[in-house]
Every structure is written in structure tokens, then in C-alpha cells.
Amino acid sequence: MKHKLHSESSDFCNCEHEHHKNHNHVHNHEESHNHDHNHDHDGEFNLKNEVLPLVVILSLYVPGVIFENQLHNTFYSIGEYLLFIPAYLLSGWSVLHTAGRNILRGRIFDETFLMTVATLGAIAIHKLSEAVGVMLFYRIGELFQNIAVSRSRNSIKALLEIRPDYANIQTEGELKKVPPDTVNIGDIIVVKPGEKIPLDGEIIDGNSQVDTSALTGESVPRTVRLGETVLAGMINKMGVISIRVTKLFDDSSIAKILDLVQNAKSKKAETEKFITKFARYYTPIVVFISLAVAILPPLFISGATSSEWVYRALILLVISCPCGLVISIPLGYFGGVGGAARRGILVKGSTFLDTLNAVNTVVFDKTGTLTRGVFKVAKIVPSNGYVEQGLLELAAKVESHSNHPIAQSIRKAYGGKIDDFEVRDYEEIAGYGIKAKLENRVVIAGSDRLLRRENIAHDNCQLEGTVIHLAVDNIYAGYIVIADELKEDARQAIHALKRMGVEKTVMLTGDNQAIASRIAQQLGIDAYEAELLPEEKVNAIEKLLSTVGKHNKVAFVGDGINDAPVIARADVGVAMGGLGSDAAIETADIVIMTDAPSKVAEAIQIARKTRQIVWQNIGFALVIKGVFIGLGILGVATMWEAVFADVGVALLAIFNATRVMK
């Protein structure tokens, strides 16, 4: 039986960031390949600022190419240098600057070093137009890549724009605009039509419709009424509503989401780290091969000239630049995270997209995950002289200190005023229920398991549904049946996972066997475990982790409020965060803002698409570069083919990476 409040105590809610998982969360900010000179900035992308220098460069470069012979024949080729050197510096300054800075820091071998050596070498052998061409086309490639990053970033940035600018706080007879972080719990704020709701709170006056799309990705407005909870970041569409603030701004869901988005890049996927390491070894190998190409043939091949083989070596350096890989792979993952954000799925880093690819077992919590978690009192059965209203009043009072949906449903059904001072010696017994004193009577409310523990005799052992038993001074007083219903897309979620090849779906619940069996059958879930205590859920996950095999992963999907230890222990923790659960956003690797279980399959689909595109880019770049390196050594490829092999491959990989956004 799942009186979830009682089966999973607050002790377990404090299990924040227990991220010592099998897949090792990546907190090391392993340095990328220092493309910070153009594309790895967090500033606002401005197309005009990017295009203007290109126009100036082209105005120097194009006449230089057209009149190259005439310029070359000027005194000491001074005309050629006057056009091409400024164009070279304008187009390649960021590359030269980054290469120089990295050399001073002891990081010599990267793609900027390759390009600097290749182009300076080309200038030395008087191939000025080709040297400028390499830098120019690289810069054009950077422009397209910046546009692609900007598009990806905008999907995530939309979340940042939900940050409210002000709150209308109600003071003596007037409204005053103040910063949201200055508002206190209990203050009354007023939100007019078209304004963002600045803080989490409860509606105390008015009804309206709110746009939740920035938080959830859902375009259909939601109707909110008196007494309902609204979250910061929602937009009020219709009526004026007054809200009593229930959380400080720094503790609100929106503040945690903003922090999540801003820190998502720190957790890099294994493929990203592999490419960083690959480039670290690949670049010096390329440099030494190029040196060998420049030096050895003139020594051992008769008729071979130094200028010819130096030129081939420079071509080899340009071809070998790993720009396409270094740029497009992080972009692919960034696009995956951005594309997921557009659909109301917040992924805390690309490493979790990689892990999702290996998930073959998905474990669901029941209440609030597969079921709506919107409880109603369906039946009151008093015993031993109690009447229905008296039993309901007793239950409402003993549950008065709880904020769990079950407790809330009981208090709502009662409807009367409860004096907090009536309840003394309140004790929550994890996995069992609540014990408290009311008017010097010891009252317990909870599971059948609690009654057995307290040795209280009763005949209502095998009831179906979520049942709260009550007893007063060790005498059974009756029970209350709480109704919950399945989410609309719960069945669709399980079927979608199976269609995608997920081998096993499991449900874990503290509810009784009868309920668990019925729901598992309705949804087509492969296996379930019922009547679990909080620590038994962790044990169940441990057991699954030990049986899935080395290369397979287990995902756990819970509501995040009381499932923190299980979410933290699974390979991928997925939380339903639509109701603004702090624990969901803090503990989980992936947060589903719509509370829809079908989004789990969608997240896996995005992860698979992302990985597919990333490996397409890796394969494509390596094959093309391999072919052109061979052509360069044989002397078939010129510097222009080298530019295509470098910048062309990077551009095609970038365009391919942006597909994951769709």
C-alpha cells in the first residue's frame, strides 16, 4: 500500500546529489580544443558584427586573387603583400592569438597550431593567396558554426528568459514594483494579465489561465483557480490574480532550472572526452609526419625539391586539422540538449544523453509518475462506534503537519479549520505512517503494516486501493480509501518504450499487491514489486543494476519528492518536475517538466538521434581527411583541396549536427 508520505520519509528527501553512480558524473571541466577564440563564448551572437569583418577581408582578398600576377610583379612583390597580409591578419588573428597563447601555456599541439604553421609556411614559400584562403574559409566556417551554436543555444536560452523582472507586492492600499528576490514568504503579490508570475505561491483571489510553455514546452494554457499552486515563470493570460508567496525566489523551481541550464555544459559525454584526447595525440603525430614529408623525400628521392615537399607538408597540415570533429561533436550534443529543452525535457549534461543510449531497463515509481497523484477521498468506513465525519476529522487533524497529496486530499475532504496546537508529539514513521497525540489520545494513521507493528486487531487486511487505517489508543477506528487515477499517457509511455527496444519495464511501489498487480496489468508493465519501504526500493534498484550486464543501464523515473535515493542510485535518474519539486531538480539527471511519462521514450529517442549524428560526423570526417591526406602526400591535392578537406568537412559536420534540433 502506498501512503507515499509514510513509506518514504523526509530523511530520504535530503539525499541531495548522491551522484556516485556507475557512470561517474563528470565534474572535471576537461579542456576542449580551445576554440574559445570564436565559437565557445557565452556572449550574445551578433551576425552583423561577424559579417562586417568578412566583407572587409573579401574586399582585399578578391582583388588580390584577380590581379595576383600583376601584384606579384611589383617591386619586391610589395603590392601582393599590401593586400594579402592585412587580409591574412584580419581573417586569422584569432587563430594566431589562440595558438600563441596556448604555446605560452605549454599546450602546443592543437588545430590552431596546425593552421598557424601551415599558413605561415605558405607565406614563406610565397603562396600568399592560399595562406589567406585557409584563414578566410576557416573564418567562414566559424561563422556558420556560430550561427548553428546560436540556434541551439536559443532553445535553452528560452528557459533563461522566463526569469521574472519584478513582482507587484501588495502594500497598504497600493501596488509596488519590487525585485522578486526581495519578496518574503507570506507576502501577497498581484499578477496582471500578460505578466510573468514572479514567485511560487498559492492563489488567494481570482481565477485565470496561465501559459506554462516556457517551463513545460506545452502550448495549451492551463486553468488555475482559487487555492491552486502556481510557479514562477508561468505567464498570466487572463484575469488578475492575487498570490500568497510560499517560497523565496532563490528556492523557487525557476531559480533551480536557471542554475541547471547554466551548468549543463560541465558534464561532458564520453564521446566528447574521447575526441579531446584523440586530438591531443593526433595533432603531434600529424606534425611529425608533415616534418618527415618536408625533410626526407628531398634527401632520398632524386630530383625532389625542398620547395615542392615543404608545400606538400603544409597541405598535409591544413588537411589534418581536426576542426570538423572538435567543433561538430560538442555542437551535436549541445543541439541534443537544446532540442530536448524545447520539448520540456531538461538534460543536465551531454553525458546523460550518452547514458540514455544504453538504457535497457526502465523502472517507474507509481504515485505521481504513472498515476496522476491527484487524490480524492473515495470511501470512509468507520468502526467501533465512530461515524464517518468523526473519522474524517480525526484523520485530517493527525495529517495536519503533512504536505503530501494524500494528506492534502484528506484535509480538503474535511474542509474544517484545524488548530495546530491540538496535535502534539507528532511522529512520522518511515514506511508505516504517522503517530501523534490529540486531546491526550494516541492516534495512528497509516498502513496495515503499521497496525500489525502496533498489534492493533482489525479485519480489513486485504482492501484494494490506497487505504489509510486509523486507530485511537490501540483501538481500531476504521479506514479511508483514497482514489488515484492513471495518467492519460501512462499506457502509451510503456508501449513506446517497448517499441524502441527497451527490454524490461518495472514498477516499484509502497502500495499493496492488489493495486500493484492491477496497474501493472493495465499498463503492460513486465514486473513489479509492491509494499516496499524506502530502503527496499534502493535494494530493488541495486538488484536490477547487478543483473542488467556491463554495457546496459537502468533508468529510474520518479516524482522526485520522496524518490531521491533511488533516483540518485540509478544509472539515469529521471524526475517528474512539472509541479516544481525541488528534490526533482536537485537530484535527477533529467527533469521532465510536463509530468508526462511518455516523455521518457522521447528523451531516449533524442539521445539516440544525437549519438547517431555524432558518430556520422566522426566517420565522415575521418574518411574524408584520410583520403585527402593520401592525395596531399602524393602531390595530387593543392592547398585549395586542403581548405575543402578542412573547412568543407567542418561545415558539413556542423550542418549535420544541427539536425538533432528538429
Domains and CATH numbers, the chain: 35-158+263-336+609-661 (no CATH), 376-483 (3.40.1110.10)
Nearest to 572 by CA among 554, 560, 551: 554
**In this predicted model, which residue has the larger pLDDT, 654 or 198?**
198
How far is Cα 580 from Cα 43, in angstroms, rounded to an integer?
A: 29
Q: What is the pTM of this model?
A: 0.65
Angle between helices 599-634 and 350-357 (to 10 degrees): 100
How far is Cα 565 from Cα 537, in angstroms, rounded to an integer?
A: 9
Nearest to 544 by CA among 554, 533, 559, 532: 554
pLDDT, position 17: 34
Q: Say whether 511 is catalytic.
A: no
Burial class (CB in 10 A: 0-12, 13-18, 19+), 31: exposed
**In this predicted model, which residue has the larger pLDDT, 189 or 158?**
189
Q: Residue 305 above 70 pLDDT?
A: yes
- Out of 280-284, 493-497, 629-633, the most confident range is 493-497
Determine contact, residues 503/361, Cβ cutoff 8 Å. yes
Instruction: Name the band, by pLDDT with cuts 50, 70 and 90, for residue 10.
Output: very low
How far is Cα 473 from Cα 454, in angstroms, rounded to an integer?
A: 10
pLDDT, position 259: 64
Chain centroid offset of residue 424 CA: 43
Instruction: Name the band, by pLDDT with cuts 50, 70 and 90, for residue 392.
Output: very high
Residue 311 φ/ψ, nearest 5 degrees: -60, -45
For 571-595, give the DSSP string. Answer: SEEEEE-TT--HHHHHH-SEEETT-
How far is Cα 538 from Cα 544, in angstroms, rounded to an integer?
A: 10
Instruction: Name the band, by pLDDT with cuts 50, 70 and 90, for residue 37.
Output: very low
Determine contact, residues 571/542, Cβ cutoff 8 Å. no
3-state secondary structure (DSSP) of residue 560: coil
Instruction: Name the band, by pLDDT with cuts 50, 70 and 90, for residue 256.
Output: low
**What does each C-alpha distance from 398 to 287, 383, 420 come to in angstroms?**
75, 18, 10
Angle between helices 599-634 and 270-300 (to 10 degrees): 0
Return the minimum-mean-pLDDT range out of 102-111, 303-312, 321-330, 603-612: 321-330
pLDDT, position 553: 92
Instruction: Name the band, by pLDDT with cuts 50, 70 and 90, for residue 514.
Output: confident
How far is Cα 595 from Cα 578, in angstroms, rounded to an integer?
A: 5
Q: Where are the alpha helices (DSSP H) in 525-638?
A: 534-547, 564-569, 582-587, 599-634
Residues near 44 by beta carbon (within 8 Å), at least 6 away in sequence = none
- CA 80-81-83 angle, to 5 degrees, is 70
pLDDT, position 477: 92
pLDDT, position 561: 56
Nearest to 338 by CA among 498, 201, 158, 487: 158
The alpha carbons of the chain give a radius of gyration, in whole angstroms, of 32
The predicted-structure confidence for 464-497, as pLDDT tens digits, reads as follows: 667 899 999 999 999 998 877 788 899 999 999 9
Q: Residue 204 above 90 pLDDT?
A: yes
> How high is the mean pLDDT of the chain?
80
Residue 502 φ/ψ, nearest 5 degrees: -65, 125
Instruction: Name the band, by pLDDT with cuts 50, 70 and 90, for residue 583.
Output: low
**In this predicted model, which residue has the larger pLDDT, 140 or 169?**
169
pLDDT, position 272: 66
**What does each C-alpha distance from 514 to 460, 485, 518 come to in angstroms?**
14, 15, 6
**Looking at 200, 365, 595, 646, which residue is catalytic?**
365
Pairing of strands 359-365, 553-558: parallel
Q: Residue 155 above 60 pLDDT?
A: no
Instruction: Name the band, by pLDDT with cuts 50, 70 and 90, for residue 22.
Output: very low
- Provide the 10 A C-beta neighbour count for residue 382: 18
Residues near 18 by beta carbon (within 8 Å), at least 6 away in sequence = 564, 565, 568, 569, 587
Nearest to 592 by CA among 555, 569, 558: 558
pLDDT, position 260: 58
| DSSP conformation class of 646 | I
- The grid coordinates of residue 514 equal 492488489
Helix (H) or strand (E) holding 405: helix 405-414
- The grid coordinates of residue 413 equal 475532504
Nearest to 222 by CA among 234, 240, 232, 233: 234
Q: Residue 511 above 70 pLDDT?
A: yes
Length of the chain: 662
pLDDT, position 344: 81
Nearest to 459 by CA among 484, 439, 476, 441: 476
